Chains A and B, each alone.
Chain A
Amino acid sequence: MFTSRCRRLDSSNHTSETRDDTPKPSHLHLGGGVRTVMAAVATVSSASGLLAMLQEPAAELKLHALASLNSVVHLFWPEISTSVPTIESLYEDEEFDQRQLAALVVSKVFYYLGELNDSLSYALGAGPLFDVGDDSDYAHALLAKALDEYASIKTRAFKAAEEEENIDPRLEAIVERMLEKCILDGKYQQAMGMSVECRRLDKLEEAIVRCDNIQGALSYCINLSHQYVNHREYRFEVLRCLVKIYQTLPNPDYLSICQCLMFLGEPEPVASILDKLLSGNEDDVLLAYQIAFDLYENENQAFLLNVRNRLTSQTSLPPNPDNGTSLQDDQTTNVDTGTEPAGDVQMSDDTTTPNGSAHTVDPNQVAHADRLSKIKGILSGETSIQLTLQFLYSHNRSDLLILKTIKQAVEMRNSVCHSATICANAIMHAGTTVDTFLRENLEWLSRATNWAKFSATAGLGVIHRGHLQQGRALMAPYLPQSGAVGGGSPYSEGGALYALGLIHANHGEGIKQFLRESLRNTNAEVIQHGACLGLGLAALGTADEEIYEDIKNVLYTDSAVAGEAAGIGMGLLMVGTASEKASEMLAYAHDTQHEKIIRGLSLGIALTVYGREEEADTLIEQMTRDQDPILRYGGMYALALAYSGTANNKAIHQLLHFAVSDVSDDVRRTAVMALGFVLYNEPEQTPRIVSLLSESYNPHVRYGAALAVGISCAGTGLSEAISLLEPLTSDVVDFVRQGALIAMAMVMIQTNESFDSRVGTFRRQLEKIILDKHEDTMSKMGAILASGILDAGGRNVTIKLLSRNKHDKLTAVVGLAVFSQFWYWYPLLYFISLAFSPTALIGLNSDLKVPKFEFLSHAKPSLFDYPKPTTQQTTTSAVKLPTAILSTYAKAKSRAKKDAESKANQEKTTEDASGSTSGKVAKTQEKEKDAEAMQVDNAAEKKAPEPEPTFQLLTNPARVIPTQEKFIKFLEGSRYVPVKPAPSGFVLLRDLQPTEAEVLALTDAPSTAAASTGNTAAAAGQQGSGSSAMAVDDEPQPPQPFEYTS
């Protein structure tokens, strides 16, 4: 829609050129042959004759002159412009019957003179003579102008909430004519865009309804409303309008409706839609599940909770209204499940009982109850967390060798690098529950003391993230023992509480109570610190009053360490609520003497206004005007979070202003970094906007620029972003290098070398920095963390701030915001784990089980493959022995390939016959061999003779990284069909052969493994004699039969 405008600037040049093209007056032709001239020359060289005719007394002559002028105005506007007053007076002459024509001529002249405002006002005077369908520059420019004018008037009227009495009806008429024409011409998208911009929802509706592809139009509009509508209220209105249209359709697209309703924050209709679908046939149920998964992906905890509670009340009320649970559910709506008993397993039991499956025998009822409990499981996030955990565990591909290298390179005495290494390990294994490295290096680990111990313990929380059932058991050895004077140090106890928070981040119903008790039972500030962070994480965004009071009590002890965490914790608790509490926090921030507390509080205040856009302006104003630089710094975060992902011009403007004008380096750095948050919905923009800042003389600004790019382009592998960061990774200032390395890792996460060759360079650079004895600690730490982030979550996660529906992922944004605080406080590094989202395609059947089947990735496998596992490079011997290794390796590989192919041909979905698993096996074998021989040559591998196939068969569940998603196709004739187009993430599958037995993947291996892990952790934690039970579990499958078949 926006293409038609913006040609206005060069129009004047056009005309002057055309004027030059007109034949010059005549005399030159005198000598030429008459016949040729006859054909050629018959154009006017001047409008003076016509202008003279305008002066004639006779009205017919004037009319004739005007009409002729109108047709030549594009050639002779410079001449005509001198006579504009004459024509204007004609327009003002009441008796002249062609005033509109005069207005049109004047309007055109003004247009060519570049006076668009005058031009527009005369064009309005021209009435119907102004042709909206005209394909000239003039018409285009004026229409654009008219639309702008109209839109801005409408916007103003909207803001002032006044009636639209001051809109020129002629202007409105033009706009309406334009819209009408677009609709008639079938340019529906233009019409929709314009009506959205002009706030004419009636026209929008008309355009959509008359469009031939209503579904497409609606989804276009949804996109439009997110990308271009800056005003929150108005966006809601648009969405409401869209929902209305959706509902009138014969077969509504429930997926989109529910998305819209979620943006609108209306759980009631969502619940009723889900309820309706659940009572429908099998396909409807699948759709309901899919909706639930999609809603869950947006991480709007409060909303999901509401939907869940409504579902219960709607269905459970009719059969047994006196049941106590419905009461309880009502309570939980307000107090947010604070009263529910701890333990997720219990909770799911809890939700199934009210349906009274015990005393009703109706099979339909039973089925419905079963479905209901399933959908609740999905909405609560349990199902997807469980599946994600299983996926990450089974597909873990982290490279222990990298860690080993780091460990060896890092000096023991350097505690910064030591804890950075522990952190890198935690990030690499985030959510995989694989803690082999820690187990193998218990003694090394024990060097962490004091706060480093705190961090190390908290790292366990990252590794076991999402392990809801076993989380507490896992951490038990480190947790404070109630009553008794526990043997553990306060640091590990505090860290354990923090870890519990990380495990239960955003799903803390089960753990909240325990954390609160721990908080109340302690006076040690370190434990309070951990508990505050943990509580904040577990009760993220729930605005629980009681928890708030508890944390506030900690804050009022005015202890610097605990107070800082309390400030952040309060913010986490109140994320996005814009509650009164913010002013309370601000008042305390003014009272206290401790910088740490002020900093914690100002970040906390910033968190409370998350996503509130204009609503937050007063608070932002208040903070950014403050005397205290720390509060201004908080103001930057407030700007970042309030406008996160909106690319709001005003916010960007403000941030840029602070980035160059504030006196405090901290504020400037944060302001630049905040740009990353504001712009993450348009990652392509960020490198351009901060490119100048990245060359600033001020290292803080450079650092901010690096992180801004890292945040907004995270997981995109964007080429411009990499180009911008590359020079910064070798900056003269150590902390800039640190920031750039971390940012680069964030950008490159899950990008492999064949996608962008600079990834390989970067990996080598990291290795070099880590191994370099003379490198500064700061940048070394950056490099260690960067290697952790690059291979985060067993190489199966990416950093995503937007869900697939372009909705902000609250947890991820908050996680990154707090993560960026690591500048002051290293333990906050672990918050980055909140931003990780697994890159998996997990197909589910109606039982929410994962059936085994294959689908196609229509791209070269190498493009999206895991990076090759590193190998230990001993300096000289690597050259000597490549051939021997190569031959066995190549043989093994070709065998594996052949085998995979033959299996694929047989099309049998027997156990682990897929290409990916066999490939994996081949690689793990290779890894084992490497471990023995300590070497392999990467270059040799490239010589493998086979040309690469252009597609790849993946087996459910599979790693599908975001850029790969568009290549995913389901095989024709496949047994399973996805219920939604563009499958990604969790996909519900329709089973076309329901009678046949299914082969399931992702069976509950992890849970048993987890149990054993729990036990061993308990043992290992105390005694430091961790067995290698975990390592055995980690082993893939027993040696494969295919090695011997061929």
Chain B
Amino acid sequence: MDPKLTEVNQMFARFKAALARNDLNTCEILLSQLKVQLTKFPSLPPLFQQTPNAVEELKLARDIYEHAVVLSVKLEDQDAFERDFCQLKPYYMDTCGIIPPSPEEYPILGLNLLRLLVQNRIAEFHTELELLPVKALEHPCIKHAVEFEQSFMEGAYNRVLSARQAVPHETYVYFMDLLAKTIRDEIAGCSEKGYDSLSISDAKQMLMFNSDQELHQYITEEHPEWEIKNGFVFFQKAKESQPCKEIPSLQLINQTLSYARELERIV
């Protein structure tokens, strides 16, 4: 076997061991080395050269990136997750037929869907969903994310929160925690539009805070434009309507007249 491939394999084994030990720092260092090593394989995307080791290399690279995604979840690093997932994606999308599909594929795709949901990137969520085959929707991981999205859209926030217990995969927990925050933002946005003001207690209940303290903190951090007065939260300021633009009638009239004049002149 190719010495380079062996070397990467060995390094990857050490990475996996470290991951099992939960030695995240070592993992990070090893991972970045692994990634650099991977750039030296010509069979990987975007080149896809047909080398004799192509299948092995592709499989290995995919494995590495899958682990990288898992690692980023463990590190609770959303940027890294996105980065790694994007790099992993070509292995799922473009390599079918060369290497067999990975068992981890759907869990990770589901994870990504969940992430998009958490970051409230609904459009991208649907784009991703469209790219999946019908068959994939059956998979519990994907189904989980899709159901979430539906509840989320319906406004059945309770159902979302209560579903935290029934995660299909252990890595999902991290995102489920984040989901509560997303939902709160969503509710805050709705109430801003829906009400002129709310009593503090109502607002507390609505935004699922346990104490006034937490509510105050949330408002000062996230919505400084809200006003707390006389035991009420006022959303007035946010509603300041934009002045509607006036039609530049004089300019239009002038233009039309000059067109007419030019038309007359045209021979």
Contacts and interface: CB of A to CB of B under 8 A. Distances in A.
A807 B96 CA distance: 71
Nearest to B87: A49
A24 to B, nearest CB: 10
A718 interface: no
A127 B90 CA distance: 32
A960 B220 CA distance: 98
A48 B96 contact: no
Given A26-B96, A660-B267, A701-B267, A42 B50 contact: yes
Contacts of B184: none
Given A41-B98, A57-B32, A58-B36, A46 B93 contact: yes
Interface size grouping (class) on chain A: 35 or more
A25 B130 CA distance: 12
A68 B98 contact: no
A884 interface: no
Contact of B96 (A27, A46, A60, A71): A27
B169 interface: no
A723 interface: no
A781 to B, nearest CB: 26
Contacts of B89: 46, 48-49
Contact of A68 (B47, B86, B95, B266): B47
A778 interface: no
Contacts of B103: none
Contact of B82 (A44, A52, A661): A52
Contacts of B35: 56, 58, 61
B174 interface: no
Contacts of B95: 26, 42
A78 B96 CA distance: 25
A32 B98 CA distance: 12
Nearest to B79: A55
B97 A71 contact: no
A625 to B, nearest CB: 19
A697 interface: yes
A696 interface: yes
B245 to A, nearest CB: 29
Nearest to A30: B96
Contact of B267 (A30, A38, A696): A696
B46 A44 contact: yes
Interface in B88-111: 88-90, 93-98
Given A68-B47, A660-B267, A29 B96 contact: yes
A700 to B, nearest CB: 11
A44 B267 contact: no
B45 A49 contact: yes
Contacts of A161: none
Interface in A731-759: none
A511 B83 CA distance: 95
A698 B45 CA distance: 69
The A interface, classified by DSSP as helix, strand, loop or mixed, is: helix
Contacts of A45: 90, 93-94
Contacts of B90: 44-46, 49
B36 A697 contact: no
Nearest to B54: A42
Nearest to B36: A60
A38 B39 CA distance: 22
Interface residues of B, number: 30
Contact of B45 (A27, A44, A660, A697): A44
A37 B97 contact: yes
Contacts of A48: 86, 89
Contacts of B244: none
Interface string A53-67: 101111011001000
Given A29-B96, A37-B97, A45-B94, A52 B46 contact: no
B251 to A, nearest CB: 24
Contact of A56 (B46, B83, B265): B83
A34 interface: yes
B67 to A, nearest CB: 16
A44 B48 contact: yes
B133 interface: yes
Interface string B198-241: 00000000000000000000000000000000000000000000
A946 B54 CA distance: 80
A885 interface: no
A443 to B, nearest CB: 48
B82 A29 contact: no
Contacts of A37: 96-98
Interface in B129-171: 131, 133
B131 A52 contact: no
A60 B32 CA distance: 10
A416 interface: no
Contacts of A64: 39
A52 B50 contact: no
Given A52-B86, A60-B39, A43 B94 contact: yes
Contacts of B36: 58, 60-61
A174 B174 CA distance: 54
Given A44-B94, A64-B39, A698 B87 contact: no
Contacts of A886: none
Contact of B86 (A41, A43, A49): A49
A72 interface: yes
Interface string B34-52: 0110010000011110100
Interface in B50-69: 50
A27 B39 contact: no
B46 A50 contact: yes
A71 B47 CA distance: 9
Contacts of A123: none
Contacts of B93: 25-26, 45-46
Contacts of A53: 83, 87
B46 A72 contact: yes
B83 A55 contact: yes
A30 B46 CA distance: 21
Interface string A253-297: 000000000000000000000000000000000000000000000
A698 B83 contact: no
A692 interface: yes
**Which residue among A47, A49, A692, A698 has the maximum number of chain B CB atoms within 10 Å of its CB?**
A49
Contact of B97 (A34, A61, A660): A34
Given A52-B83, A61-B35, A38 B47 contact: no
Nearest to A701: B267
A693 interface: yes
A126 interface: no
A55 B89 CA distance: 16
B65 to A, nearest CB: 9
A572 to B, nearest CB: 33
Taking each of B50, B90, B266, which has the highest tally of chain A beta carbons within 10 Å of its own beta carbon?
A: B90
Nearest to B45: A44
Contacts of A68: 46-47
A26 B48 CA distance: 15
A555 interface: no
A71 B86 contact: no
Contacts of B131: 25
A51 interface: yes
Nearest to A71: B46
A42 B39 contact: no
Nearest to B55: A38
A26 B267 contact: no
21 contacts: A26-B94, A26-B95, A26-B97, A29-B97, A38-B98, A41-B94, A42-B95, A43-B48, A44-B48, A45-B90, A48-B89, A49-B45, A50-B46, A51-B86, A55-B79, A60-B36, A68-B47, A659-B267, A661-B265, A698-B267, A701-B267
Q: What 5 A-B pairs have minimum CB-CB distances, sorted nearest first?
A: A52-B86, A37-B97, A42-B48, A696-B267, A64-B39
Given A37-B97, A44-B48, A61-B36, 18 more contacts: A25-B93, A26-B94, A27-B96, A29-B96, A42-B48, A43-B48, A44-B45, A45-B93, A46-B89, A52-B82, A52-B85, A52-B86, A55-B83, A61-B32, A68-B47, A660-B266, A660-B267, A695-B267
